[in-house]
Amino acid sequence: MSLDHFIPWSFVVHDRLWNLTPVSRSINSSKSDLLPSLDKYLEHFIDQQLAAYKTALAMGYKGRVLDDYILLGQGMDREGVIRETDFKEMIRNTIVPLHSIALNQGFGLWI
């Protein structure tokens, strides 16, 4: 397993948790700097982000975990309190525009 950037690192130039996803090494290598198909992967990615976030909170991880999401600035307080539907919308409202901009700048699609 390895961590991959949902939106390529070469576009976002950061390692914020809200853009990372565990994948096999072979997928990470084949995807390279390509963008995943939103139709195929977005909902699963959002569910995965929510599960990881809930797990981190349940285990008492705050600090960087919360900071990476709080930086998105959409409805989360410093204790990480946010409704599940709002969390999912926050991720969607961050990923979809970034994906569109990267696509418009020439990043290819990985299907």
The pLDDT tens digits for 1-25 are 999 999 999 999 999 999 999 999 9
Contact yes or no for 40/93 (Cβ under 8 A) = no
Annotated domain spans of the chain: 2-110
pLDDT at 57: 82
pLDDT at 77: 63
The pLDDT tens digits for 66-85 are 788 877 866 666 666 788 89
Q: How far is CA 51 from CA 8, 54, 88, 105, in A?
A: 22, 5, 11, 31
User: Whole-prediction pTM value?
Assistant: 0.89
